[in-house]
Amino acid sequence: MQGREKNIPVQILGVGALLVYNRGISPSELQGSITFPDNVVMTCGTGGNRAGVRKDANMVLSCRAPWLWAFVATLCCLLGTAQASRAQDHLIFCNNPEKIRTSGAVADAMLKAGESYTIFYHFKNVSGMSGPFVVALHAAVAKPLVFTARTGFADPQHDPPLAGRQAMARFLSGVDTVYKAKDGNARFDYYLANRHVASGVLTVRCDQDTRMRIYFRHDRWTVPGESVIQVDAPRQEVAIALKNTGDRQSYRIGEPERDLKRQQRRLDGTYGMLYAFKVAAPAGRRVRVSFSPRGGKGGLVGSLNGNLHLTEIVPATAWRVFIESKVGKQGFNLTTAPFGGVFYPVELVFQLI
């Protein structure tokens, strides 16, 4: 980036300089959170004219100096983390069927005007075909559609756990961006090859009732067995109190919560739900967070006071340290969410050391 003038949309600066990579994680894995992945295209308008995309004018800046790039990247990461921690109104879980066996729509839901929806999807393409994979928004009335979105799209790849982890990391490190679709239609699309996994998490808030459809190759019909699960208030606030050396407190994420249990269909894990842990501990003391997947192989992605942490994928019942950090002026605030391709629940243990 140095020595080159480039217009940089604010939303592509989500990670900045505050990424923390745990052992076994390559920095290149999150390349797409510095910019949209090369294979992801955002279009507004049924004609597919990319020039029709218009971000809010104040969301674009010109970065001429390296120090300004670093400053803006850091600032946007902090803002993005704060926004990722904000409560969402609804969670739409799209993973039924789990595998794409034919072309068509694999998810279909209505989004109410002014309400926020976190959309989680994770599909493996076993159709024997390749083609565009699309997340589309269609306004309910014939007028421009204005919407805010924060996206986390994984690069299509063979490994389901790595795709799910990458999607969640990009989502947690993203920031909200305003879009306007003049004819009321917008879509995010990328090329999905056979045997590759499509995994993504995005939050959308529209100015009018909007139909959301996810489809492979075309949306002329809905694939057999398609269904989505919608959960209200998909955020859990968890208080952890640690006073004396050796104090421990555990919590399991990924177990069906009360709202999910009222659904008629069973959901194996609370994929896409945010868990916000606020740890009360003496300032200056160190807190260690360990984890163990209890249902199969797993891993964690989370944000601690603005820093994004990722772990390697570990075997079932194995224990690993997720984070170890001092309690600073900001306290100890950890946000995490189950991602696709791994198994839940996951046991977390908070310990004062």
- Confidence check: pLDDT of 320 > 70: yes
Per DSSP, the residues of 213-268 read: EEEES--SSBPTT-EEEEEES-EEEEEEE--STT-EEEEEESS--HHHHTSSS--S
Residues 79-95: pLDDT tens digits? 444 444 344 489 999 99
Residue 94 · residue 212 · CB < 8 Å: no
Query: What would the two tokens of residue 272 be?
Result: 């896409």
Place of tokens 């939303």: 11
Note the pTM of the prediction, 2 decimals. Answer: 0.78
Cis peptide before 144 (omega within 30 of 0): no
Which tokens belong to 45?
């308008």
List the one residue out of 310, 324, 2 whose CA is nearest residue 154. 310
Place of tokens 């208030």: 233
Token reading at 189: 């699309």
Q: Residue 130 burial by CB count (10 A; 0-12/13-18/19+): exposed, middle or buried?
A: middle
Q: CA–CA separation, 104 vs 97, rounded Å?
A: 12
Residue 103: pLDDT above 60? yes
| Phi and psi angles of residue 329, each rounded to the nearest 5 degrees, phi first | -65, -30
CA dist 313 and 293 (Å) reads 10
Point out the least confidently predicted range of 29-33, 194-198, 206-210, 293-297: 29-33
Cβ within 8 Å of residue 330, ≥6 positions away: 305, 306
Query: How far is CA 283 from its chain centroid?
Result: 31
What pLDDT was estimated at residue 19?
42
Q: Measured between alpha carbons, how far is 172 from 275 in angstroms, rounded to an integer?
A: 12
User: Facing residues of 346 across strands?
Assistant: 253, 293
- For range 122-131, the mean pLDDT: 98
How far is Cα 205 from Cα 150, in angstroms, rounded to an integer? 9
How is the chain split among helix, strand and coil, in percent rounded to 5?
Answer: 15, 45, 40
What's the distance, CA 151 to chain centroid? 6
Q: Give Dmax over CA atoms of the chain in angstroms.
A: 63
Residue 33 has what pLDDT?
A: 34
User: ∠ CA 100-185-46 to the nearest 5 degrees?
Assistant: 85
- The amino acid at residue 40 is V
For residue 53, give both structure tokens: 């995309």
DSSP helix/strand/coil, 294: coil
| 13-17, 53-57, 333-337, range with greatest mean pLDDT | 333-337
Say how far apart CA 302 and CA 336 lie, in whole Å.
4
Q: How far is CA 128 from each of CA 86, 162, 199, 337, rounded to the nearest angstrom?
A: 40, 22, 18, 32
For the chain, list the domains and their CATH numbers: 90-232 (2.60.120), 235-352 (2.60.120)
Q: Which pLDDT value is given to residue 231?
A: 85
Mean pLDDT for the chain overall: 80
In this predicted model, what pLDDT tens digit does every residue of 253-310 receive, in sequence order? 998 755 454 554 555 568 889 999 999 999 999 999 999 999 899 999 999 998 999 9
Q: What is the mean pLDDT of residues 133-150?
A: 94
The yes-or-no verdict on residue 32 having pLDDT over 70 is no
With a CB cutoff of 8 Å and minimum separation 6, the contacts of 28 are: none
